[in-house]
Amino acid sequence: MSLFISFEGPDGSGKTTQARLLEGWLRQQGYEVVLTREPGGTAIGEQIRQVLHDRRNIEMDARAEVLLYSAARAQLVAQCIRPALEAGYIVISDRYADSTLAYQGYGRGLELDILRAITDFATGGLWPDLTFYLDVTPEEGLHRRRSAGGEWNRLDAEAMDFHHKVRAGYLALAEGDPGRWVIIEATQPVAGVQEQIRRVVAGRLGR
Ligand code: TYD
């Protein structure tokens, strides 16, 4: 049985850790799983990711930004996600199209209907079956990123106000489609967050 799961959340919400733990747990139970990330996940997508994250690209226009994320996503769906789902795999994506709605839509103020149309064009209308939103405040997320000492990208450098708009956007998206979204309080310890995620996934897999 194929299942498409995405993880969303602000920077520093622990998405990547949780996606990996879920992947390992599902594999242990004998499921075939593909874990991928956005932007990136394919050779072409990783090249686009470099352009998007380069801090020298501060003049990037918001529309150009949308199209670059969408181009990377189109490649990822065509090359990886759709074939995997057709082969019956569980696909886990660390970010997917909802990031465009949250960051470029709610964050930058681009029209949501247009973003949805561009996204449907890029993905052939493929949306996840299940989306986890790992919720932390922008302050907490930034604090975690700084202490982890990871990559500091072009979007991390945005003003706090931007990150607050993104979070409000995610919450609005989640509330608008409760059948797909599960909101998880991500300030709890890693194990507790993972436990909640596993329970929901097990339910979807009918176990
Ligand atoms: P990444 O290093 O993957 O961060 P994270 O660990 O938070 O996922 O950076 C991805 C950045 O790109 C993140 O700041 C969100 C942003 N983004 C968008 O603005 N729009 C999109 O469509 C996607 C996929 C990501």
**How many Å apart are CA 82 and CA 111, to the nearest integer?**
27
Spatial CA neighbour of 40 closest among 29, 51, 31: 51
Ligand 1 centroid to residue 138 C-alpha, Å: 14
Instruction: For the chain, list the domains and their CATH numbers.
Output: 3-204 (3.40.50.300)
pLDDT digits (tens, 9 = 90+) for 74-117: 999 999 999 999 999 999 999 999 999 999 999 999 999 999 99
Q: Is the pLDDT of residue 201 over 90?
A: yes
Q: Would the CB of 51 count as within 6 Å of ligand 1?
A: no
Q: Strand, helix or coil at 95?
A: coil
Which of the 8 DSSP states describes residue 61?
A: -
Q: Would the CB of 98 count as within 6 Å of ligand 1?
A: no
pTM of the model: 0.94
**How many Å apart are CA 27 and CA 21, to the nearest integer?**
10
CA 129 from centre of chain:
13
Which pLDDT score, from 0 to 100, does residue 145 have? 78
Tokens of 44: 């072409």
**How many Å apart are CA 10 and CA 163, to the nearest integer?**
8
Find the radius of gyration of the CA atoms of the chain. 16
Ligand 1 centroid to residue 207 C-alpha, Å: 32
Which pLDDT score, from 0 to 100, does residue 162 have? 94
pLDDT digits (tens, 9 = 90+) for 147-161: 877 676 777 777 889
Which pLDDT score, from 0 to 100, does residue 62 have? 95
CA 35 from centre of chain:
12
Which pLDDT score, from 0 to 100, does residue 141 have? 87
Which pLDDT score, from 0 to 100, does residue 124 have? 98
Ligand 1 centroid to residue 206 C-alpha, Å: 31
Which pLDDT score, from 0 to 100, does residue 56 have? 94
What integer best gives the mean pLDDT of the chain?
94
